[in-house]
A and B are shown apart, each in its own frame.
Chain A
Amino acid sequence: MERLRDSNEFIGGFIPRKQRAKILIGFLGISILVLSLRLFSLQVMKASYYKRISDENRIRLVPLQAPRGIITDQNGRVITFNRPSYTVFLIPYEVKNLDFVAERLAPLLNLDLSTLKERLKANWSRRYEPIKLKKDVDFKTICVIEEQNQDLPGVIYQVEQIRRYPDCGWAGHVLGYVRELSKEELSSDSVSSAEKSDFSESTSLKLSPAERRGYRPGGYIGRKGVEKQYDDLLRGKEGGTFLEITAAGKIIGPLEDREPDLPVKGTDIKLTLDLDLQVEAESALMNYESAAVVAIDPANGEILALVSKPGFDANLLAGALSSAEWNEILQNPLHPLLSRTVQATYAPGSTLKLLTAAIALESGIANKNTYLAPCNGSYRFGRRTFRCWRPEGHGRLNLVDAIIHSCDVYFYQLGLKVGLEEWCRYAKLCGFAEKVGVDLPDEVKGFVPSLEYYNKKYGKGEWVKNLVINLSIGQGEILVTPLQMASFYCGLATDGTIYRPHILKEITSPDGRVSIAQSEVWRHLPFSSATLGVLKEAMVGVVNDKDGTGVLAQIPDVTVAGKTGTAQNPHGEDHAWFVGYAPAKDPKIVVAVVMENIGHGGTFAAPVAKRIIDKYLKRGIVAERADSVLAGDTP
């Protein structure tokens, strides 16, 4: 199709050069005319209007708050929503006697009289600009202010939407919280570190990256948890309207030639979390100070419950927190702001014996009936003695029994056969020392040592064997997060496929469009189904054998499988571990429990896991409790 036209016939269009020049000049003339008319309208017709604004010279942008997206659990039950709150302001120019008003307001708003006066005096010069006195004032106080408005001239209040989280800090680490942004935070880059927009440098405006993403001082930003991770979705888009005000701050009215930018509501988020299960997990840990629980659906990686204790009260953090209260949280030795499920690392203890066993099985070093030297309570290697947790010893055991009874001596020998390099290689293949990539902020990757690491630390030598003895029972240098442990067991519970754990289930845009988060495979365990079969058999035994270490996780009618762990801790009591799944034949849930400084995994962690699994598989029995979490508020 070389020629576009069927014929060469001369049909319209072609214009000789001189005509073209005339057309161009005509085009220019029209453009100039249009611009001149615009200038005429601005500079002649509306000149007095603009002169007035120019003389008075203040335009104030009043932000229009965008309602933040609501967060629900997988069944659509609201976990976090917005509620109206009252903020009290004082307009100086209506106040005749500052001391009189301040003395009445201080007790009413529960403020210190001298600091209140200082604040008022500092802002007194801009007489028409409202001074913010207190946020989130309760309704009763507002009623009192209404009643006494004759005595309290210039005191006004405004409704603002603020975030409402579950009471007592339920699911606090999952949800995170929002805080007002200060000017300093905004100009520093910390806000924008999450992700830089592709278009961040597109305009020639001098805005900080955070400002370009729509943040402004006094606006809210998500901190921690889902609020941080999905801040861009939840936040919506703040609107704004321009007000014309005088130099003294008196509002004349909205600017004439500009429509207000209406706010866009934030996107609603549905989490994979099951509120019943979350509540059950938190109740199970009620009496313990520091612990972490991860529950995952191994079929798709959906996180069903995620607990980190101690927690924090998100309502408190989102509100007006005094610096004393803030310091108290920061200096708490238990670090309540640390999300232990993804940010804390522990030695996995015996829960990792399954890795040692799997490597041995996979590389043909052992099979399920391999017997090693009998356990008499300790194992001598070189000049050192390594103890079994059971001082009287376990006697002669095969691999499956060694897992069921968690015999350390058996695994010392197995670890030596596997060798350090091979052990570390497999540990990395299983995803340890690597971020799982969960959609929660600040995940850490833990640690798996390597030969180079040891060479650097200890120098070359025979120590290699001592070290693998420790690693083979999950002690020594290895560090894992509870989430990594749960993910590893997701692989053990299934055919080796591990879905990437995630907390987002679906989002609903303000226009009602729903998009569902897709599950994706994170990795496959490097083990054959025969290997996994042996491990499964052993894990069922751990819980269901009459002298297995995990018998406290037994549930009638359901076969639970799992492994206990007791991680030695140089700073105090041992950490208790239990990681398991159920039902053994067709796993619906994987649970990892770690409890700090408490003792044996079988004694403390297994019963907690049992409660969670029991609740999940037989849910609906005590459904009322979850609803009571949010009692007293209606979204």
Chain B
Amino acid sequence: MIKFRYKNFDWGLMAVALILSVIGILLIYSAKHYSANVVERGIYLKQIVWLFLGFCACIIVFLIPLRFYEVFSYVLYFIALSTLLLILIVGSSKMGASRWFSLGGLNIQPSEFAKIATIFALSRYLAYSKRSIYSFRWLVPVIGIAVLPALLVLRQPDLGTSLVFLAILISMSFWAGVPIFYLFLIVSPFISLICASHWVAWALFFLILIIILYHLRLNFLFSVGFLLCNLAFGMITPLIWNRLHDYQKDRIIVFLDPGRDPQGAGYQIIQSKIAIGSGGLLGKGYLQGSQTKLAFLPHQHTDFVFSVLGEELGFWGSLMLLGLFSFIIVKGILIANKARNAFASNAALGITSILAFQMLVNIGMTVGFLPVTGLPMPFVSYGGSSMLSSWIVVGLLLAIHYRWYEY
């Protein structure tokens, strides 16, 4: 066996991931230690087991040569897609939300792993495609690879996770060298849709769009077609929207933004803000959170775990968490920058973008910035699939760092 090169191993990254996981376990313990239910009180033990499994997975992933992922990337992607499709067919016949697969008592969430498989597939395509990044032929597969699993996940329905795929798409295309203006064009139909709610905003949007199209000196026909497409997106949507009855609109609104439902998620956000705000500068102290104790937040061990931290450890505690995450993310970007192998570099960046996106959206949600979408915080939130996939991702980053010089 080849000698293990201590110096090439990124100890810091692993240590920070471990610290975050331990913080998560402590917070889960705090969130549930007052519960009358013995099983609920003990869920932090489950999380410890998951951490252990995650750590093992991380080591296994680290030991497998990078070439393996590269060769099997499309196979893995195909398996992930089939699993998502299968869960839609099998799961939907049972209870409504079909995100889970039950394997011998363990609930596995395939979409967590589909993210990683999608990153592999995209990384490989971006690394090997000879086409010009300004061509349609290049762009269509890129969008296809990311949007296909996103749509399947959206059907589950799980809006939050499907947005993660969008984040992967944007960040990895950027990394592949697509200029920011082009990225803007890719997402512009959605922006058009949002801006269409007010004519001033919409007019401004088109002005910017035209300037960008002019600036890029794009093919004239394409530019006109593109503008029309954006126009249509902005105009047809309100038309369809107006045809709907109010109760249908309400359902869609609650689907897109459950925070609008005052008795459900709206209540949660308020309670979450009260918890975080009342923590103050230094927090109420570990295990001392009164909001946490009174269980005002039903999801405080999963999606709202940050509110427990905010209440008990205060502003400084929150900043510490942000700092730890920033460390991992910056590390990830640097690893992507350093890696010589294009596939490895792309993969490292995709992985990092998931971690960053989920962390930002999760905290944004608990502080009332973003709608409640149900994205867990990597490493910290309770949940086996999330923990496993977070550590697999760490394993990959470590591997890429360790073998950065490989072509």
Q: Which residues of A contact B (CB under 8 A)?
A: 1-7, 9, 11-15, 17-18, 20-21, 24-25, 28-29, 31-32, 35-36, 38-40, 42-44, 46-47, 49-51, 53-55, 57, 59, 61, 197-207, 211-212, 214, 216, 232-233, 235-237, 239-240, 242, 255, 257-258, 261, 264, 267, 509-510, 513
CA of A216 to CA of B263, assembled, Å = 9
Give every chain A residue within 8 A of B180 (Cβ-Cβ).
13
Q: Which residues of A contact B298 (CB under 8 A)?
A: 205-206
- B residues sitting closer than 8 Å to A (CB atoms) are 95-97, 132, 134-137, 157, 159, 171, 174-175, 177, 179-182, 215-222, 242, 245-247, 250-252, 254-255, 258, 260-268, 270-271, 273-281, 290-291, 294, 298-299, 303, 310, 314-315, 318-319, 322, 326, 329-330, 333-334, 336-337, 349, 356, 360, 363-364, 367-369, 372, 374
How far apart are B33's CB and chain A's nearest CB, in angstroms? 19
- In chain B, what residue has the closest Cβ to A17? B337
Q: B179 contacts A39, CB within 8 Å? A: no
Taken together as a complex, chains A and B put the C-alpha atoms of A242 and B266 apart, in Å, by 10
In the assembled complex, which residues on chain A have CB atoms less than 8 Å from the CB atom of B334?
Answer: 21
Contact in complex: A1, B246 (CB < 8 Å): no
B contact residues around A216 at 8 Å (CB): 263
CA distance A517 to B277 in the complex (A): 52
Partner of B215, one of A12, A17, A258: A12
What residues on A are CB-neighbors of B97 within 8 Å? 201, 204
On chain A, the residues within 8 Å of B95 by CB distance are 201
Complex interface: chain A residues within 8 A of B136 (CB): 1-2, 4
B216 contacts which of A13, A17, A203 (Cβ < 8 Å)? A13
Please tell me which one of the listed residues A39, A239, A264 contacts residue B276 in the complex, with CB atoms under 8 A apart. Answer: A39
Residues of A within 8 A of B181 (CB): 12-13
CB distance from B343 to the nearest CB of A (A): 14
User: Which residue of the partner chain, among B215, B216, B360, contacts A35 with CB atoms under 8 Å?
Assistant: B360
Is the Cβ of A203 less than 8 Å from the Cβ of B372?
Answer: yes
Complex: A1 Cα to B223 Cα, angstroms: 12
- CB distance B360 to A237 under 8 Å? no
Question: Could you tell me if A4 and B218 are in contact, using CB atoms closer than 8 angstroms?
Answer: yes
- Least distance between B281 CB and chain A CB atoms (Å): 6
Min distance, Cβ B368 to any Cβ of chain A, angstroms = 8
Known: A50-B273, A202-B255. A4 touches B219 (CB 8 A): yes
A612 vs B333: C-alpha distance in the bound complex, in angstroms? 82
Determine if A240 and B263 form an interchain contact, defined as CB atoms under 8 angstroms apart: yes
Whether A61 contacts B267 by the Cβ 8 Å rule is yes
Are the C-beta atoms of A57 and B258 separated by less than 8 Å? no
What is the interface of chain B mostly: helix, strand, loop, or mixed? Answer: helix
- In the complex, which residue of chain B has the Cβ closest to the Cβ of A205? B264
A549 to chain B, nearest CB (A): 48
24 contacts between A and B (CB under 8 A): A1-B136, A1-B219, A1-B221, A3-B134, A3-B135, A11-B217, A25-B330, A28-B356, A35-B363, A38-B367, A50-B277, A55-B278, A55-B290, A59-B267, A199-B157, A201-B96, A201-B157, A202-B255, A203-B255, A203-B264, A203-B265, A205-B298, A232-B245, A240-B263
- The answer to whether B364 touches A199 (Cβ under 8 A) is no
Closest to A258 in B: B270
A11 to B134, CA, bound (A): 12
B245 and A267 contact, CB distance less than 8 A:
yes
Instruction: Evaluate contact between A57 and B290: CB separation under 8 angstroms.
Output: yes
Question: Are A203 and B218 within 8 A (Cβ)?
Answer: no
Q: In the complex the two chains form, what is the Cα distance from A253 to B266 in whole Å? A: 18
In angstroms, how far is the closest chain A Cβ from the Cβ of B289?
Answer: 9
Q: State in angstroms the CA–CA spacing of A2 and B136 once bound together.
A: 6
Q: Given contacts A13-B216, A24-B171, are A204 and B299 in contact (CB under 8 A)?
A: yes
CB <8 Å contact, B265 and A3: no
Question: Which among B219, B278, B333, B367 has the highest number of chain A CB atoms within 10 Å?
Answer: B278
Please give me the residue from chain B that is nearest to A18 by CB atom. B337
For A510, the chain B residues whose CB sits under 8 A away are: 246
A242 to B363, CA, bound (A): 23
- Given A6-B217, A54-B278, A199-B251: A40 touches B315 (CB 8 Å cut-off): yes
Closest to B181 in A: A13
Q: Which residues of A contact B310 (CB under 8 A)?
A: 39, 42-43
**B177 surroundings in chain A (CB, below 8 A):** 14-15, 17, 20
A35–B367 CB distance below 8 A: yes
In whole angstroms, what is the CA distance A50 to B349 when docked?
Answer: 39
Distance between Cα atoms of A201 and B174 in the complex (Å) = 35
- With A39-B315, A509-B246 already in contact, the answer to whether A199 and B254 are too (CB < 8 A) is yes
